[in-house]
Amino acid sequence: MRHGQRFKELLVQCPSHEIPNIVLLDCFYRSLGPGNNVLADQLIPGGITRQPYVIAAHLLDNMAETNQEVEKDFMLAALMTQMDELAKKKVEIEVPCKRKDRYVPPNERRKPKDNDGKRVEGMLSIILHKVNEHDMVLEEMNENIKIMKQMIGSHSRLIQLLENLTGHVMPHLHPPQNRGLPSNAMANPKNEV
Protein backbone atom coordinates (compact mmCIF):
# COMPACT_ATOMS: atom_id res chain seq x y z
CA MET A 1 0.00 0.00 0.00
CA ARG A 2 2.82 2.40 0.91
CA HIS A 3 4.57 1.78 -2.42
CA GLY A 4 1.41 2.46 -4.41
CA GLN A 5 0.92 5.78 -2.62
CA ARG A 6 4.56 6.77 -3.26
CA PHE A 7 4.13 5.94 -6.95
CA LYS A 8 0.99 8.11 -7.15
CA GLU A 9 2.87 11.01 -5.51
CA LEU A 10 5.60 10.73 -8.12
CA LEU A 11 3.04 10.74 -10.92
CA VAL A 12 1.31 13.85 -9.55
CA GLN A 13 4.62 15.78 -9.44
CA CYS A 14 5.19 15.54 -13.19
CA PRO A 15 3.61 18.30 -15.33
CA SER A 16 4.03 16.40 -18.65
CA HIS A 17 2.50 13.00 -19.28
CA GLU A 18 2.23 12.61 -15.52
CA ILE A 19 5.59 10.78 -15.38
CA PRO A 20 8.37 12.49 -13.39
CA ASN A 21 11.78 12.90 -14.98
CA ILE A 22 13.46 10.68 -12.40
CA VAL A 23 11.12 7.78 -13.26
CA LEU A 24 11.81 8.26 -16.96
CA LEU A 25 15.53 8.37 -16.20
CA ASP A 26 15.31 5.20 -14.11
CA CYS A 27 13.48 3.36 -16.91
CA PHE A 28 16.03 4.57 -19.41
CA TYR A 29 18.92 3.51 -17.15
CA ARG A 30 17.47 0.01 -16.81
CA SER A 31 17.22 -0.26 -20.59
CA LEU A 32 20.92 0.52 -21.10
CA GLY A 33 23.17 -2.35 -22.08
CA PRO A 34 25.34 -4.01 -19.43
CA GLY A 35 28.50 -2.25 -20.64
CA ASN A 36 26.89 1.19 -20.37
CA ASN A 37 25.38 0.36 -16.95
CA VAL A 38 28.82 -0.57 -15.61
CA LEU A 39 30.32 2.61 -17.09
CA ALA A 40 27.59 4.79 -15.56
CA ASP A 41 28.05 3.12 -12.16
CA GLN A 42 31.82 3.70 -12.32
CA LEU A 43 31.44 7.36 -13.27
CA ILE A 44 28.81 8.16 -10.65
CA PRO A 45 29.25 6.40 -7.31
CA GLY A 46 25.94 5.50 -5.72
CA GLY A 47 24.16 5.13 -9.06
CA ILE A 48 22.96 7.46 -11.76
CA THR A 49 19.38 7.53 -10.45
CA ARG A 50 20.51 9.16 -7.20
CA GLN A 51 21.94 12.17 -9.04
CA PRO A 52 20.01 15.26 -10.09
CA TYR A 53 18.21 14.84 -13.37
CA VAL A 54 20.36 17.44 -15.19
CA ILE A 55 23.64 15.69 -14.30
CA ALA A 56 22.29 12.24 -15.17
CA ALA A 57 20.84 13.46 -18.46
CA HIS A 58 24.16 15.14 -19.34
CA LEU A 59 26.06 11.93 -18.60
CA LEU A 60 23.67 9.84 -20.69
CA ASP A 61 23.94 12.33 -23.57
CA ASN A 62 27.73 12.03 -23.47
CA MET A 63 27.47 8.24 -23.36
CA ALA A 64 25.22 8.34 -26.43
CA GLU A 65 27.77 10.52 -28.26
CA THR A 66 30.54 8.09 -27.34
CA ASN A 67 28.48 5.17 -28.65
CA GLN A 68 27.94 7.08 -31.89
CA GLU A 69 31.70 7.63 -32.21
CA VAL A 70 32.29 3.90 -31.76
CA GLU A 71 29.70 3.18 -34.44
CA LYS A 72 31.47 5.65 -36.74
CA ASP A 73 34.74 3.80 -36.12
CA PHE A 74 33.08 0.54 -37.13
CA MET A 75 31.62 2.19 -40.21
CA LEU A 76 35.05 3.58 -41.08
CA ALA A 77 36.57 0.10 -40.75
CA ALA A 78 33.82 -1.29 -43.00
CA LEU A 79 34.52 1.46 -45.56
CA MET A 80 38.22 0.63 -45.48
CA THR A 81 37.42 -3.05 -46.08
CA GLN A 82 35.16 -2.15 -48.99
CA MET A 83 37.83 0.10 -50.43
CA ASP A 84 40.40 -2.72 -50.21
CA GLU A 85 37.98 -5.07 -51.98
CA LEU A 86 37.39 -2.47 -54.71
CA ALA A 87 41.13 -2.05 -55.18
CA LYS A 88 41.56 -5.85 -55.50
CA LYS A 89 38.74 -6.03 -58.06
CA LYS A 90 40.30 -3.16 -59.97
CA VAL A 91 43.62 -5.00 -60.12
CA GLU A 92 41.84 -8.18 -61.25
CA ILE A 93 40.17 -6.27 -64.08
CA GLU A 94 43.36 -4.44 -65.08
CA VAL A 95 45.47 -7.62 -65.36
CA PRO A 96 43.65 -9.08 -68.39
CA CYS A 97 43.59 -5.66 -70.05
CA LYS A 98 47.35 -5.17 -69.64
CA ARG A 99 48.32 -8.71 -70.65
CA LYS A 100 49.94 -8.90 -74.06
CA ASP A 101 48.69 -11.40 -76.60
CA ARG A 102 50.93 -14.31 -77.49
CA TYR A 103 53.26 -13.62 -80.40
CA VAL A 104 52.75 -15.84 -83.44
CA PRO A 105 55.76 -16.02 -85.77
CA PRO A 106 55.05 -15.22 -89.45
CA ASN A 107 55.66 -18.80 -90.66
CA GLU A 108 52.95 -20.10 -88.25
CA ARG A 109 50.36 -17.51 -89.18
CA ARG A 110 47.40 -18.46 -91.31
CA LYS A 111 46.68 -16.59 -94.46
CA PRO A 112 43.38 -14.75 -94.05
CA LYS A 113 40.71 -15.38 -96.63
CA ASP A 114 38.26 -12.71 -97.73
CA ASN A 115 35.60 -13.94 -95.30
CA ASP A 116 38.18 -14.23 -92.54
CA GLY A 117 39.14 -10.57 -92.94
CA LYS A 118 35.58 -9.37 -92.31
CA ARG A 119 35.20 -11.78 -89.42
CA VAL A 120 38.50 -10.61 -87.90
CA GLU A 121 37.44 -6.99 -88.28
CA GLY A 122 34.14 -7.78 -86.55
CA MET A 123 35.95 -9.54 -83.70
CA LEU A 124 38.42 -6.68 -83.40
CA SER A 125 35.60 -4.13 -83.21
CA ILE A 126 33.91 -6.23 -80.49
CA ILE A 127 37.20 -6.46 -78.59
CA LEU A 128 37.77 -2.72 -78.95
CA HIS A 129 34.24 -2.05 -77.68
CA LYS A 130 34.81 -4.33 -74.65
CA VAL A 131 38.18 -2.71 -73.91
CA ASN A 132 36.51 0.71 -74.00
CA GLU A 133 33.81 -0.54 -71.62
CA HIS A 134 36.48 -1.90 -69.26
CA ASP A 135 38.31 1.43 -69.39
CA MET A 136 35.12 3.27 -68.44
CA VAL A 137 34.51 0.84 -65.55
CA LEU A 138 38.11 1.29 -64.35
CA GLU A 139 37.83 5.08 -64.51
CA GLU A 140 34.57 4.95 -62.55
CA MET A 141 36.18 2.68 -59.95
CA ASN A 142 39.14 5.07 -59.67
CA GLU A 143 36.75 7.96 -59.06
CA ASN A 144 34.84 5.92 -56.45
CA ILE A 145 38.08 5.06 -54.67
CA LYS A 146 39.13 8.72 -54.63
CA ILE A 147 35.75 9.71 -53.18
CA MET A 148 35.98 6.97 -50.54
CA LYS A 149 39.49 8.12 -49.59
CA GLN A 150 38.18 11.66 -49.18
CA MET A 151 35.29 10.39 -47.04
CA ILE A 152 37.66 8.35 -44.88
CA GLY A 153 39.93 11.35 -44.41
CA SER A 154 36.99 13.53 -43.47
CA HIS A 155 35.64 10.90 -41.06
CA SER A 156 39.03 10.47 -39.40
CA ARG A 157 39.33 14.25 -38.97
CA LEU A 158 35.81 14.32 -37.52
CA ILE A 159 36.67 11.53 -35.09
CA GLN A 160 39.78 13.40 -33.95
CA LEU A 161 37.72 16.55 -33.47
CA LEU A 162 35.09 14.65 -31.48
CA GLU A 163 37.81 13.09 -29.31
CA ASN A 164 39.24 16.55 -28.62
CA LEU A 165 35.79 17.93 -27.79
CA THR A 166 35.05 14.96 -25.52
CA GLY A 167 38.38 15.58 -23.79
CA HIS A 168 37.35 19.17 -23.10
CA VAL A 169 33.79 18.34 -22.03
CA MET A 170 34.67 15.32 -19.90
CA PRO A 171 38.33 15.68 -18.88
CA HIS A 172 38.02 12.90 -16.29
CA LEU A 173 37.51 10.39 -19.15
CA HIS A 174 40.57 11.58 -21.06
CA PRO A 175 43.25 12.79 -18.59
CA PRO A 176 45.62 15.34 -20.12
CA GLN A 177 49.04 14.01 -21.04
CA ASN A 178 52.19 15.67 -19.74
CA ARG A 179 53.19 17.99 -22.50
CA GLY A 180 55.93 20.54 -22.42
CA LEU A 181 59.07 21.66 -24.13
CA PRO A 182 61.41 19.01 -25.56
CA SER A 183 64.07 20.13 -23.07
CA ASN A 184 61.76 19.41 -20.10
CA ALA A 185 63.00 16.14 -18.57
CA MET A 186 59.60 15.31 -16.99
CA ALA A 187 57.62 15.74 -20.21
CA ASN A 188 60.42 14.34 -22.42
CA PRO A 189 62.32 11.65 -20.47
CA LYS A 190 64.19 10.36 -23.56
CA ASN A 191 65.25 13.85 -24.73
CA GLU A 192 63.55 13.37 -28.09
CA VAL A 193 63.14 16.48 -30.21
Residue 31 is assigned to a structural domain of this protein: no
| Longest Cα–Cα distance in the chain | 108
Residue 150 is assigned to a structural domain of this protein: yes
What pLDDT score does 146 carry?
92
Residue 162 is assigned to a structural domain of this protein: yes
Against a cut of 0.75, is the pTM above it? no
Cα 86 from Cα 149, distance rounded (Å): 12
Please write the tens of the pLDDT for every residue from 153-181.
899 898 888 888 887 787 776 565 555 55
pLDDT of 130 strictly over 80: yes
CB neighbour list of residue 55: distance below 8 Å, 6 or more residues apart: 44
Query: In which band, very low, low, confident or very high, does the pLDDT at 112 lie, cut at 50, 70 and 90?
Result: low
3-state secondary structure of 42: helix
Residue 11 is assigned to a structural domain of this protein: no
CB 43 within 8 A of CB 50: no
- Across the range 176-190, mean pLDDT stands at 55
Count of other CB atoms within 10 angstroms of residue 48 = 21
Residue 8 is assigned to a structural domain of this protein: no
Burial (CB count <10 Å: 0-12, 13-18, 19+), residue 56: buried
Residue 29 is assigned to a structural domain of this protein: no
Query: In which band, very low, low, confident or very high, does the pLDDT at 109 lie, cut at 50, 70 and 90?
Result: low
Please write the tens of the pLDDT for every residue from 49-77.
677 777 777 777 777 777 778 788 888 88
- Domain, as residue range, for 147: 53-99+117-169
What pLDDT score does 139 carry?
92
pLDDT of 87 strictly over 50: yes
What pLDDT score does 165 carry?
84
Cα 62 from Cα 170, distance rounded (Å): 8
* Domain count along the chain: 1
Annotate 69-137 with DSSP letters as a single string: HHHHHHHHHHHHHHHHHHHHHHHHHHHHHHPPPPP--GGGPPPP-HHHHHHHHHHHHHHHHHHHHHHHH
Residue 85 is assigned to a structural domain of this protein: yes
Residue 26 is assigned to a structural domain of this protein: no
